[in-house]
Structure 1
Amino acid sequence: MKNQELTLVYHLGELRKRLIITILTFIVFLFGSFIFVQDIYEWLIRDLHRELAVLGPTEILSIYFMISGVSAVALTIPIAAYQTWLFVKPGLTKKERKITLAYIPGFFTLFLTGLSFGYFVVYPMVLNFLLSLSKGQFETLFTAEKYFKFIINLTLPLGLVFEIPLIAMFLTSIGVINPKFLSKARRISYFLLTILSAVITPPDFMSQILVLVPLFVLYEFSVTLSKIVYRKKSKEQQVNNNIIPMKKTS
């Protein structure tokens, strides 16, 4: 009982250590991003060709912190993932450590790819469509707070969706899912992806197709990766089952 309590105390202490490192990393990136926040702000509005309005002096500060916060979160993701890996590392085999560690840069890269797709492809389409609705009828005024919330709401969901291939590989490698499950779930997955595409894009056919096709490709790519991981895992299990221990000769 005493050993269990000591083990629990050790794990809690280790968890506390990893959380503190992650939080401190976020704070460092937050202040670092705040130093360059005006440059980030100018880059984000470079193609807007209009001034953004604020409704009060304090809103300027909140907008800067919003931009800095999102930047800090994106930069902290690989550090947080690595700290999570260090926390679970003692309970993993040598092979499992290598496999799980290899996923960290992939998750970060795919997250940034999804954000880029949302910002450079989806965001311009949606913005131009919405502006076309008001042309000749309304005077369109943009507040900085709503503008940046608009960008975040469009890009973050796609950043998460682009993680699907690696999530499928990881869950297959630990035996939670298999390619057969993903194939059976194809219809419901396509339906959910279609809903997501309809929500984040203008209600015109071409815009939805431009977003929906990459999402479908991502899912099929996930199925293919799951098949590769599953076959490799099955072969390794078969090899291990066929190994016969050598008898000692006297």
Structure 2
Amino acid sequence: MNEQREEENSQEVADQDVELSLSEHLEELRRRVFYCAITWLAVSCVAYCYVDRFLAKVRAMAGQGFTFVYTSPTEAFMAFIKLAMVAGLFISLPVIIYNIGVFVNPALTRKERSLVLALAPLCLLLFASGAAFAWFVALPIMWRFFLSFQTEGITALWTIGEVVGFASGLILVCGCVFELPIVIIGAAKIGLISYEKLAGARRVAYFTILVLTAIITPTPDAFTCAVVAGPIIALFELSLLFLRFAK
């Protein structure tokens, strides 16, 4: 009888420890989400003060004298808010990634921590490279291409909401797809793929990249897809090259 009571008491203590651990994890998650949200909001408020400069740069890409229009009372204001929030998200990424790392750190082994510490800066660098590619290369090319359809009787009238949605969407997409090397290298590290398999499926990979690019780009036209897909294919080949020499 005493042994049975001791077992019941030990089980109750274990259950209390689990409940306490779960509540601590939830509290830590709430705290990290709060830090990320506050940082994002604060940076977005600062970014709002510079939205007009960003739009001036975008307008300059389209050529001198080009102006944007808005067709509803709230469209311009909402476009400014959206652009500030997107800029705030980009700038806050280091803080967000840091808080994610702090939250998951206790569950990681020493080897996994070393891998995360090595990959986190690379992730930020690749995302920034993708965003820079969208801003300095893709957007100017696309603006010139879309404006080339202006002829006698056909005038481009772009609303500010459409422009902000297209530009911010393209920057976000390019930043994310430039993470492809991380995905490929990570999958190879855990044994899901190998250099031989990827090299043998190169045509399938190219086709998949083109299809996914058509789905995730802000507009489904072939020109936009080609501009975005080109660097992704180049990154795919660089990842293959890395896997080949890392064997």
TM range (shorter): 0.7 to 0.9
Structure 2: 5+ residue stretches without partners? 1-14
Q: Which residue is 2:184 aligned to?
A: 168
The SS at the match of 1:224 is: helix
C-alpha distance 11-105 of structure 1, shift in aligned 2 (>3 A)? same
1:225 counterpart letter in structure 2 = F
Residues in 2 aligned to 1:21 and 1:211: alpha-carbon distance in whole angstroms: 33
Structure 1: 5+ residue stretches without partners? 232-250
Q: Give the 5 Å matches for 1:38-49.
A: 38-48=52-62, 49=64
Q: Which residue is 1:147 aligned to?
A: 163
The SS at the match of 1:46 is: helix
**Superimposed CA distance per residue, residues 9-55 of structure 1 (whole angstroms, 9 cap, x where no aligned partner):** 12111111111111111011111111222222223322222111122
**Superimposed CA distance per residue, residues 109-162 of structure 1 (whole angstroms, 9 cap, x where no aligned partner):** 211211222232222232222222232241221211111212233332222111
Q: Which residue is 1:246 aligned to?
A: none
Q: Which residue is 1:138 aligned to?
A: 154
1:99 to 115, 118, 140: 115
8 Å contact kept, 2:61–2:140:
no
1:140 counterpart letter in structure 2 = A
**Superimposed CA distance per residue, residues 39-98 of structure 1 (whole angstroms, 9 cap, x where no aligned partner):** 222233222221111224422211211110110111122211111111111122223212
TM-score, length-scaled by structure 2: 0.80
CA apart distance, 1:168: 2.1
TM-score, length-scaled by structure 1: 0.79
Q: Which residue is 2:70 aligned to?
A: 54
Q: Which residue is 2:238 aligned to?
A: 221
Instruction: Work out the number of aligned pairs and report it.
Output: 228
Residues in 2 aligned to 1:117 and 1:202: alpha-carbon distance in whole angstroms: 19
Cα RMSD for the two superposed structures: 2.6
Residues in 2 aligned to 1:63 and 1:16: alpha-carbon distance in whole angstroms: 30
My pick for the range that moved more, 190-199 or 14-23, is: 190-199
Q: Which residue is 1:19 aligned to?
A: 33
8 Å contact kept, 2:44–2:87:
yes
1:142 counterpart letter in structure 2 = W
Identity %: 28
